[in-house]
């Protein structure tokens, strides 16, 4: 297993583009390319919809752009799904559900230092998809264990396909919902989530990691059995760097940190410069170094990315593409400063 570091660049999967070729071109412009998810192109490209393919009980309405769950339909379809549990291809993303994934797999990706895929994780999927009583399926004690196994199989088949294109391929499990489990109102707490996530990752091949843009309990995430953690440090970095002991343990056991530093929303992006973002990021690293984390080792286990996905800018994909460019320029600047190969 070889995960990248040394401030190489990647980005989140969701992009605002409706031109498939343009989106792939942008993804390939980074050190660690990925296959883009394009929900503005069609609803099948939505990250929750892509994860839902073949999951029993799903009610997908393409016109209304809704994804719901029927308990009755789940019971009716469950045995049919069980019959396919030993067929990896059944859990892969079909051409219908992604205009980009299979195009990406047709490319020669062998010369990149790594490539990356992504899939929505079971916690976020379970919170987002509601049953006929408008209740998140994460609370269904029958559905939830199957959901965990189902999504693990989906991650594994995608990773196996990517590894055929590049031996250093790895996966992000997108889990924006993890920030909500620490709320007393969630009804699904961190103890249950930890048990479920431990089971989930025990089923998944390496390398595997978590990406989220929120501000969860960082101890919880840094102590999961993952190889890479990608986060929005532009918004949450001041909180994240307080978890020095957990960060140190994560790095020492081989973990890689993805520093999402370049804003892709138009208003914060226009307020920042190459120098301001460089200063913001290096101040975080200096704080960790002052608290006992070896800076050279930290940088060797770090990659850079935009801070978040963004679908709502009034200029469409323009600011997002500018954020990709600024991420590349920031990487070059910092690699020169720290004399990284």
Q: Could you name the CATH architecture of 8-34+89-122+147-337?
A: Alpha-Beta Barrel (3.20)
Q: Which residues on adjacent β-strands are paired with residue 211?
A: 174, 230
pLDDT the model gives residue 217: 86
pLDDT the model gives residue 183: 59
Question: 309: left (phi > 0), else alpha (psi -120 to 50), else beta?
Answer: beta
Find all residues with CB under 8 Å of 336, minimum gap 6, and list them: none
| Residue 158: band (very low, low, confident or very high) from pLDDT cuts 50, 70, 90 | very high
Angle at Cα 51 formed by Cα 131 and Cα 185, nearest 5°? 45
pLDDT, tens digit, 9 for 90 and up, residues 323-336: 999 999 999 999 99
| Residue 1: band (very low, low, confident or very high) from pLDDT cuts 50, 70, 90 | low
Percent of the chain with pLDDT over 90: 91
Reference 47, options 136, 121, 154; nearest CA is 121
Q: Of all helices (H) and strands (E), which one includes residue 304?
A: strand 302-306
Domain ranges across the chain: 8-34+89-122+147-337
Cα–Cα dist 168/179, whole Å: 29
| Residue 190: band (very low, low, confident or very high) from pLDDT cuts 50, 70, 90 | confident
Tokens of 125: 């999927």
Cα–Cα dist 334/123, whole Å: 35
The structure's pTM equals: 0.94
């Amino acid at each position: 297993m070889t995960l990248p570091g040394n401030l190489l660049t990647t980005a989140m999967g969701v992009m605002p583009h409706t031109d498939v070729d343009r989106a792939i071109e942008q993804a390939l412009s980074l050190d660690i390319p990925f296959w883009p998810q394009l929900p503005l192109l069609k609803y099948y490209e939505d990250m929750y919809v892509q994860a839902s393919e073949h999951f029993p009980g799903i009610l997908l309405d393409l016109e209304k752009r809704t994804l719901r769950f029927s308990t009755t339909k789940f019971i009716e379809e469950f045995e049919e799904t069980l019959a396919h549990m030993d067929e990896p291809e059944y859990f892969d993303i079909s051409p219908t559900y992604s205009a980009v994934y299979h195009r990406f797999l047709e490319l020669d990706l062998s010369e990149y230092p790594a490539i990356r895929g992504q899939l929505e994780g079971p916690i976020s999927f379970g919170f987002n998809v509601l049953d006929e009583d408008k209740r998140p399926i994460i609370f269904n004690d029958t559905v939830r264990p199957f959901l965990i196994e189902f999504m693990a199989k989906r991650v594994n088949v995608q990773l196996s396909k990517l590894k055929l294109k590049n031996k250093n391929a790895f996966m992000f499990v997108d889990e924006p919902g993890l920030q909500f489990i620490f709320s007393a109102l969630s009804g699904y707490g961190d103890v249950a989530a930890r048990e479920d996530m431990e089971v989930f990752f025990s089923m998944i091949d390496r390398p595997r990691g978590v990406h989220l843009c929120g501000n969860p309990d960082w101890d919880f995430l840094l102590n999961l059995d993952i190889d890479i953690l990608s986060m929005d440090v532009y918004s949450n970095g001041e909180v994240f760097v307080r978890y020095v002991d957990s960060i140190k343990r994560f790095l020492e056991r081989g973990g890689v940190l993805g520093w999402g530093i370049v804003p892709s929303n138009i208003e914060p992006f226009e307020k920042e410069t190459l120098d301001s973002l460089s200063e913001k990021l290096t101040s975080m690293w200096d704080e960790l170094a002052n608290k006992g984390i070896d800076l050279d080792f930290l940088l060797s286990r770090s990659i850079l990315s935009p801070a978040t996905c963004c679908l709502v800018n009034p200029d469409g994909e323009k600011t997002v593409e500018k954020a990709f460019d600024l991420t590349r320029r920031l990487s070059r600047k910092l690699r020169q400063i720290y004399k990284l190969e």
